[in-house]
Amino acid sequence: MPLYKFKVSDQKGKVSELLLEGDSQEEASRRIQYRGLMPLEYIGEGSQSIKKNGFMKPKLSVVDFTDRLVPLLEANIPLERALTLLGDDKENPAMSELIAQLRRGLQEGRKFSDLIRERRTIFPPLYSGVVEAGEEAGALSQVMGELRRFLMQSQDLKSFIISSSVYPIFIMAVGIVMLFLVLGVIVPRFASAMAGAGMKSTAIDILIGVSNLFSSYWWVFVLIAGGVGYVVAQLRKENNILRKKWDRIVLSLPVFRKLVVYSNLSRLCRTMAILMRNGVHLLNTVTIANRVVQNIEIRESLQNVCAELRQGQRISSALSKSKYIPSMMLRMIDVGEETGGVEVMLERIADRYESDLKRIVKRLLSLFEPMIIIFLGLGVGSIVLLMFMAIMDMQGAI
């Protein structure tokens, strides 16, 4: 984390230099003021990196942090004391550094939710809103417990999708490597041997053409791989023109539309349910929940929901303005509004969409795997067949 050096003055007017860390110069300046000091001059900036065994610090896991913190809070251990118990983690210096920052903020009299909100690159938008609701209601441990359950469910869904994709991706990677090995090593040698023996046939000509094409234009495959990597990197960025176009295109594809809509709406409903159950104002609930929607097209279709609610509209009526909200979801929310259990209905909707999402992903992967095998089998099989035909022509000539 960057280090910032200031010339400061205390209440007695004594001037000294102070070096402290922070996410930005402004945050470091605020931290000085919380200590009762007056920043006089910003001197300079340094950088500090945590390394372990020669590698940069590992990525912070919000799920791991919450999973460790919640049991301590549920045991009625004060927040600062709980963070102290978690801070001594020699295996994860990054986690220890984060906890040390949070502890310093609490010692300066700041709210835990404000500290979380300042670290939005680490914690999701939902986190600070739920923590703030728990602080205002005096039930931080209960609220954090629900937040922990939500994060664990989200992680389980992500792990299911990743684990289900490992085997097909492994088969595809091995098949592509094998195909490149055949085209780049075996076929050129075989074609050269046939040509050196003075054999001529259609199969040999095709093999020589394939060999020359691969050896002459191998760099095209490198460019394609680099282009794919660049596109993927751009798609991971928010508020990107390419990302917006991609999100719009995905929603126009029949099967992928369901995947995207179900994953985003399940996240939206789960977030709204947690916030509403913990007493967060409805407008704040909708605002925070809208931030967790990853598809830009769906998120923009929900931007006017708060305006509709301010005009006295019900949640179901406000959400109906978005063309991506299914009628089944609107009917269930409408029933929840009539019975006074909107958050319960939102939980059921999220469960339903997550179940449907797992079913669709499993079905797609079950189709994807044989398609990869057939495609690679046809490619390698065609080359082997040409080689066999060339051998048969050679025997016939002899």
How many other C-beta atoms are found inside a 10 Å radius of the C-beta of residue 248?
12
Number of H helices, E strands in the chain: 18, 5
d(CA 277, CA 133): 10
CB 101 within 8 A of CB 123: no
Does residue 256 register a pLDDT over 50? yes
The HSE-up count of residue 238 (CA atoms within 13 Å, CB side) is 7
**Between the CA of residue 282 and those of 137, 157, 327, 331, 342, what are the distances in Å?**
16, 27, 22, 19, 11
- Count of structural domains, the chain: 1
Q: Is residue 35 part of a domain?
A: yes
Contacts 24+ apart (CB under 8 A), 102-109: 104/31, 105/31, 106/79, 106/80, 107/80, 108/31, 108/34, 108/35, 109/34
Q: What is the pLDDT of residue 54?
A: 38
Q: Is residue 25 part of a domain?
A: yes
DSSP result, 162-231? HHHHHHHHHHHHHHHHHHHHIIIIIHHHHHHHHHHTT---HHHHHHHHHHHHHHHSHHHHHHHHHHHHHH
The whole-chain average pLDDT of the chain stands at 79
Query: Can you tell me whether residue 393 is helix, strand or coil?
Result: helix
Q: What is the pLDDT of residue 345?
A: 92
For 201-224, b where at least 16 C-beta lie within 10 A, e where not — what string?
A: bebbebbbebbeebeeeeeeeeee
Q: Where are the beta strands (DSSP E) in the chain?
A: 3-9, 15-21, 38-46, 51-52, 55-56
Q: Which amino acid, 87?
A: G
Give tens-digit pLDDT for 84-129: 888 766 667 778 888 888 888 887 778 888 888 888 778 877 787 7
**Domain around 10:** 3-48
Q: Is residue 38 part of a domain?
A: yes
The HSE-up count of residue 280 (CA atoms within 13 Å, CB side) is 27
Q: What is the pLDDT of residue 271?
A: 82
Does residue 57 register a pLDDT over 70? no
Q: Is residue 285 part of a domain?
A: no
Give tens-digit pLDDT for 62-72: 888 888 888 88
Sign of the CA dihedral with 262 first, then 268, 273, and 274 last: positive
Q: What is the pLDDT of residue 49?
A: 41
Give tens-digit pLDDT for 293-351: 888 899 889 888 888 888 888 888 999 988 899 999 999 999 998 888 888 999 899 88
Q: Is residue 13 part of a domain?
A: yes
d(CA 274, CA 261): 20
Q: Which residues does residue 16 pair with via DSSP β-bridges, in sequence order?
A: 8
Q: What is the pLDDT of residue 239?
A: 66
Q: For 243, list phi and psi in degrees, rounded to 5.
A: -65, -45
Does residue 203 register a pLDDT over 80? no
Q: Give, rounded to a whole angstrom, the gap between the first and last alpha carbons of the chain.
A: 75
One-letter-per-residue 3-state SS of 154-166: HHHHHHHHHHHHH
Q: Is residue 112 part of a domain?
A: no
Split at pLDDT 50, 70, 90, the class of 51 is very low
